[in-house]
A and B are shown apart, each in its own frame.
Chain A
Amino acid sequence: MDLNSINEFLAAAIRMSAPLMIVGAGALFTERTGVFNIGLEGTMLVGCMAAVYFSLQTGNLWLATLGAMFVGGLFGLVHAFLTITRRADQIVAGAAINLFALGITNLLNGPLYAGYEYRPRVTLYPVIAPEALQNLPILGPILFAQPVIVYFAFIIPILATWILYRTTWGLAIRAVGDHPHAVATAGLSVYALKYIGVITSGVFAGLGGAALTLADLGLFAPGMTNGRGFAVLAAFVVGKWNPILVAAACILFGSADALQLRAQTIQLAIPYQVFVMLPYLLTIAALAGLVGRTVGPKTVGKPYDPESI
């Protein structure tokens, strides 16, 4: 590979990491409030479809983005209702949401494009390539000639970190996951904080879906998230629930994805399937303690019951 194609690959890797980073930043909030949301996979898929739907309906990129976030938020609300109010098992509820998302997107895949003879590609996020930064050696062409959503993908985790670690509201969110009863004693509503956390994760999963469709594809395909939502949850394990490390893990997984796509087109000594497996194997290794101990929020997976301490 020459320098040009290496640059091209790295730029693609960053672009493919963007949806993961956005979903990951949102998932921080749900994980921190102690609610595990494997429904993010399905929520992201629905976000993909909503983005295309609203784009076809309004012709406006930003309304499409907001639409995807809104639908994602609705799915987050359902998960919140099931797991917080109904105290359902979080994995079971998330799995049900994934099944529903897969079914509904498969069902609406036809009606989505009804009236079109061929599938039109909707407007993509504009590419922003500042002249001054273009000439930076190496970084210029890799980082600074990207669709606008990619810049957001880098800003959102930083913003999320700031909110979680530098605001009192963030402190409450973090405390809910570790010591919900202490939060309740302090006069805050545990339920409200958990709802906010889970809905936030849904909103950003929807945005991640929009980033997946509107950054370079411009169309919806059934099952197109293909495990990316799960990869984000894996990134939490590898990144040990630290926002910056989680974002870094997302970039790692996005790069593996870009690598496997490349391996399918050019002949590499290693089959492309190995690159697809890599993030998941790495996650299991991290869980098994081969890459340092992983500690999540204390109450993840357990429903909050105000009466039992």
Chain B
Amino acid sequence: MSDNVKKRDILVIPGLGGMVLSGARPLLAILLAFTVSAIMIIAQGANPFEAYWAMLRGSFGSVAALANTCVRAAPLLLGGLGVAFGFKAGLLNVGVEGQIYVGGSAAAAVGLMPLPVPPWLHLILAIFAGFLGGAAWGLIPAYLKAYRGISEIVVTLMLNYVAIQFTSLLVHEPSPLAEQGAFFPQSPPILPSAQLPILIKGTSLHIGIIIGVVAALILYLLLQYTPFGMRTRMTGQNPEAARYAGINVRRQIVIVLLVSAGMGGLAGMGEVLGLKLRLYDYFSGGLGYDSIAVALIANSNIIGVVLSAFFFGALRAGAGKMETAVGIKTPIVQVIQALAVLFVIMIGFAEYTRAARKEKQQKQLEEVSVDGP
């Protein structure tokens, strides 16, 4: 058994030999992504070292830069956690983008209402509205998956486009959330009592990142140390076996998908109550899809998601500085991110074949001993 675990931690790269630690896989993928992107930067006539150095300064070089990194990381962390948590139960939630819109809209709806409650309660209600909005959006795929056996992937993907238009409807007149006579389709400003508190004055660093880190901690403990986490992991590894072990797989799927979608809702909540301070048309602009990348690079490891969200947050925060310093446009960040995911997928296979080959050998050995002469 211990021998088996050790072997799985060795990463085999074709032509390069073995490499210890499964954590090396994402790091190697990121390194390869930076290398390929460097070629693109050279092709555009800039020095990649200068470009990356500017990026580093833009993401960690000052308090403002660090704050910016955290602001960018917050939605990726919350969304990435949603994807990773779903994955633990074998669910691929590609609908985070839609859950961001619905969660953000729900949070805005509560945040715009002058409720007769103390300000701290207003804030908590608005935050919860974000979670519940996202979770409500997850209800449809959860029901269809658990009780009708319909793949959650297509349903969550399709619901993204419905959610985007739903938010668009909300910010256009005559919706009650739309600002009267505004030039852009937008809501009025979120009431000050429902805005996420700012951590460092003079920056836009809101508490969204803290909500994300706390959520990561809760999800980690939940998955590792509770019966609920055990049931979730068993559902993901082998639903048939889980059923035989007496786990209510349907209930598990519904709960996990609702929590996963709720995390997407929280990501949208943070953007609306913490950063944009209004509800806008198309306010997410693909954060939900980036969250999938965040979870993939972390191999859906909860602690890994925290690291990879910070990494992508830093990339985004530094991209502006890089553009002004060497003239490479900010979308290079999207390219680096996508390449890292592609490389993770490519390298990932080595581990898989190794495990599969071992399994096959085992099987053949058993067969030989059974059919032996």
Interface 9-residue window, one of B47-55, B67-75, B160-168, B250-258: B160-168
User: Of the candidates B44, B151, B289, B348, which one forms a contact with A99 in the assembled complex, judged by CB atoms under 8 Å apart?
Assistant: B289
Is A281 interfacial (CB 8 A cutoff)?
A: yes
Smallest CB gap from A82: residue in B: B345
A287 touches B150 (CB 8 A): yes
- B349 and A280 within 8 A (CB): no
Instruction: Check A100/B342 contact, CB under 8 A, given A88-B349, A106-B334.
Output: yes
Q: CB distance B345 to A283 under 8 Å?
A: no
CB proximity to B under 8 Å, residues A35-63: 38
- A66 to chain B: which residues have CB within 8 Å? none
Q: Say whether B65 faces chain A, with CB atoms less than 8 Å apart.
A: no
Residue in contact with A107 in the complex, picked from B40, B155, B158, B342, CB distance below 8 Å: B40
Nearest chain B residue, comparing its CB with the CB of A273:
B165
Find out whether the CB atom of A99 lies under 8 angstroms from the CB atom of B337: yes
**Does A119 sit within 8 A of B, measured CB to CB?**
no
CB contacts under 8 Å to B, within A213-244, are 227, 230, 233-234, 237
Q: List CB contacts (< 8 Å) of A260-289 with chain B.
A: 271, 273-274, 276-277, 280-281, 283-284, 287-289
A interface: dominant SS: helix
Task: Collect the chain B residues with CB atoms within 8 Å of residue A307's CB.
Answer: 360
In angstroms, Cα B331 to Cα A273, docked, is 28
Is A91 located at the chain interface by the 8 A CB criterion? yes
The answer to the question of B278 belonging to the interface, with a C-beta cut-off of 8 Å to chain A, is no
A187: CB under 8 A from chain B? no
Tell me how far the C-beta of B257 lies from the nearest C-beta in chain A, rounded to whole angstroms: 15
Contact between chains at B169 and A271 (CB < 8 Å): yes
Per-residue B-contact encoding for A91-117, CB less than 8 Å = 1, 0 else? 111011111101110110111000000
Is B94 within 8 A of A276, CB to CB?
Answer: no
Asked if A86 CB lies within 8 Å of chain B CBs, one says: yes
- What residues of chain A lie closer than 8 Å to B162, measured between beta carbons? 277, 280-281
Contact A280–B161 (Cβ < 8 Å): yes
Interface of B is mostly: helix
Name the B residues within 8 Å of A103 (CB-CB). Answer: 331-338
Which one of A98, A100, A233 lies within 8 Å of B339 (CB-CB)?
A100
- How far apart sit A276 and B163, CA to CA, in the bound complex (Å)? 11
Q: Which residues of A contact B346 (CB under 8 A)?
A: 82, 86, 88
Whether B154 is near chain A, meaning CB under 8 Å from some CB there, is yes
Chain B residues with CB under 8 Å of A92's CB are 92, 296, 341, 345
- Given A107-B331, A284-B155, is A98 in contact with B289 using a C-beta cutoff of 8 Å? yes
Once A287-B144, A289-B148 are accepted as A-B contacts, the answer to whether A96 and B165 lie under 8 Å apart by CB is no
**Residues on A with beta carbons closer than 8 Å to the beta carbon of B157:** 38, 230
CA distance A273 to B140 in the complex (A): 20
Residues of B within 8 A of A277 (CB): 161-162, 165-166
Q: State which of A109, A111, A287, A305 has its C-beta within 8 Å of the C-beta of B44.
A: A111
Q: Which of B151, B154, B159, B356 has the most CB of A within 10 A?
A: B154
Give the residues in chain B near A106, CB-CB below 8 Å: 329, 331, 334
Flag if B329 contacts A230 (CB, 8 Å).
Answer: no
Say whether A99 contacts B334, CB under 8 Å.
yes
Determine if B341 and A104 form an interchain contact, defined as CB atoms under 8 angstroms apart: no
Specify which chain B residues have a CB less than 8 angstroms from the CB of A102 in the assembled complex.
Answer: 286, 334, 338
Closest A residue, CB atoms, query B161? A280
Asked if A87 and B165 sit within 8 Å, CB to CB, the answer is no
CB <8 Å contact, B159 and A280: yes
Identity of the chain B residue whose Cβ is nearest the Cβ of A111 in the assembled complex: B44
Check if B322 is an interface residue, CB within 8 A of chain A.
no
C-alpha spacing A230/B120, complex, angstroms: 42
Chain A residues whose CB sits within 8 angstroms of the CB of B140 once the complex forms: 284
- A96 near B159 (CB under 8 angstroms)? no
**CA A103 to CA B339, docked complex, whole Å:** 10
Within 8 A of A (CB), among B313-345: 329, 331-339, 341-342, 345
Given contacts A96-B293, A103-B338, A237-B154, contact A230 B161 (CB under 8 A): yes
A161, B206: Cα distance in complex, Å: 56
Contact of A88 among B148, B345, B356 (CB under 8 A): B345
Between B154, B158, B348, the greatest number of chain A beta carbons within 10 A of the residue's beta carbon is seen for B158
A69 to B38, CA, bound (A): 27
The reply to whether B148 and A288 contact each other, CB–CB distance below 8 Å, is yes
Known contacts A280-B158, A288-B148: A271-B172 contact under CB 8 Å: yes
Q: In the complex, which residues of chain B have a beta carbon less than 8 angstroms from the beta carbon of A237?
A: 154
Shortest CB-to-CB span from B72 to chain A, Å, is: 16
Closest to B172 in A: A271
The reply to whether B158 and A283 form a contact with Cβ atoms under 8 Å apart is yes
For B341, list chain A residues within 8 Å (CB).
92, 95-96, 99
CA–CA, A110 and B45, complex, Å: 14
Query: In whole angstroms, what is the CA distance A227 to B331 when docked?
Result: 19
The chain A residue with its CB closest to the CB of B360 is A307
Interface residues of B in 156-207 (CB under 8 A from A): 157-159, 161-162, 165-166, 168-169, 172
Subset of 10 A-B contacts with CB under 8 Å: A91-B153, A95-B296, A100-B339, A102-B286, A103-B334, A107-B331, A109-B331, A277-B161, A284-B158, A284-B159
